[in-house]
Amino acid sequence: MNASESDKLAARRWRLVLGRYADGPLPGSASDAGLDATLGYLYDREYVARGHRHARGGASLDPSALTALNWLSGAQQLFPRSTLERLERDALARYGIDELLASPEAVASVEASPELGAALMRVKGRMDPRAADGFRQVIRRVVDDIVERLRPPLTTALTGSRQRHRRSPHASSRNFDWRGTIAANLANVDPETGRMLVEQVRFVARQRRRNLHWEVIVLVDQSGSMADSLIHSAVTAAILSGLPGISVRLVLFDTSVVDLTHLARDPVEVLMTAQLGGGTDIARAMTYAASLVSQPSRTVVALVSDFEEGGSVSALVGSVRRLAESGVTLIGLAALSDAGEPWFDRSTAARLVGAGMQVAAMTPDRFAEWLAGVMT
């Protein structure tokens, strides 16, 4: 790094440290705007508590550009996980997020999103009881939005067989009609290149399947990194529970195992009951799942986890191998979310694959397509 680059880096760091108290000449790039606003939310409030005033602002600091709830949502993209967890704890304890959740007006103004829901799930255990109603309202809005988006493709994937002569409005790779798509776009061939310009993509409808009798056991890791996947797992389990011929068992675990099957149709209650954080004993959860199996050849065990086993990896691998050998279909989901972005222990995952478990990171609709393929 040359002197010029070193000077720029030093100036950038000072700009972020000083925030709104920095002198004008210090550079603040567009890429730093989100990080600057987030740090400003934390530290400007700290300065106010200590009696500091913004040099240009007169009597008091201006309100933060980010509300507390939107800050939690945006901060996920700006900090490493370990730093984010510390900032979240500080934010709840010192910067009034509980008060905002306790305010109906503040809660009503928040734009609910899966990212916001995941951020709130991570800090739920540290919230003031007064914030419970506001938390529930935000989570319900997040869940309702996800259900509205996921119910049609999940239901289509799992309740019908392909009918080539009927069209479907639900775009799914499993329903893609390549013959119909080609036929619909024959007039769109570029005469110079000979390439077809696809303007109409066709998907076939599905006919309802009958006599499906499958047991789907969903094991969901409650470790801190699984917040987004926990929300989507709860919604997916609720949708599956409402489909004919599919029995769903929903189990949450950390170092203990909690069977929430009685709440499986109500994802909001599942999320209100869940408690992220703590250790992880996947082997214990897998042993419990084995005790629920009555028809191995018609049972799917879906493990939603980062595979960072705190218990015995050998015991976990042994449980998976025994289930696989008995005829149970197993899938390990390193992520189950809109993004489908995995964060997992690849060494443990590789051992589970060797024992007979498929491992993948999937969006919920892709998981439904996979599940439909297993059940066909």
- Any domain includes 112: yes
Pair 371, 253 in one domain? yes
Clarify whether residues 132 and 264 are in a common domain.
no
Counting beta carbons within 10 angstroms of the beta carbon of residue 345, is it exposed (0 to 12), middle (13 to 18) or buried (19 or more)?
Answer: middle
State which residues form the domain around 368.
214-375
Q: What angle do CA 249, 116, 140 make, to 5 degrees?
A: 50
Instruction: Choose the final residue of a domain: 80, 106, 141.
Output: 141
The predicted pLDDT at position 44 comes to 65
The residues, ordered by sequence, that sit 6+ positions from 41 with a Cβ below 8 Å of its Cβ are: 64, 65, 66, 68, 71, 95
Q: Does 316 reside within a domain? A: yes
Domain boundary among 141, 158, 193: 141
Give the confidence band of 361 by pLDDT, cuts at 50, 70, 90: confident
Contact predicate 363/341, CB 8 Å? no
pLDDT band at 205 (very low <50, low <70, confident <90, very high): low
Q: What CA dihedral angle connects 210, 236, 173 and 190, to 10 degrees?
A: 130
Tens-digit pLDDT profile for residues 207-250: 444 455 899 999 999 987 788 889 999 999 999 999 988 999 99
> Are 294 and 321 spatial neighbours (Cβ–Cβ below 8 Å)?
no
List, in sequence order, the alpha helices (H) in 175-281: 178-184, 227-241, 267-273
Return the pLDDT at 30.
57
Rounded-to-integer distance, Cα 61 and Cα 47, Å: 9
Q: How does pLDDT run across 168-184, given as a tens digit for each residue? A: 454 555 566 767 777 77
One domain, residues 126 and 222? no
The answer to whether position 364 is within a domain reads yes
Residue 325 belongs to some domain of the structure:
yes
User: Other C-beta atoms within 10 Å of 123: how many?
Assistant: 23
With H, G, I as helix, E, B as strand and everything else as coil, classify residue 201.
Answer: coil
Q: pLDDT over 90 for what percent of the chain?
A: 34
The number of folded domains in the chain is 2
Per-residue confidence (pLDDT) for residue 162, from 0 to 100: 46
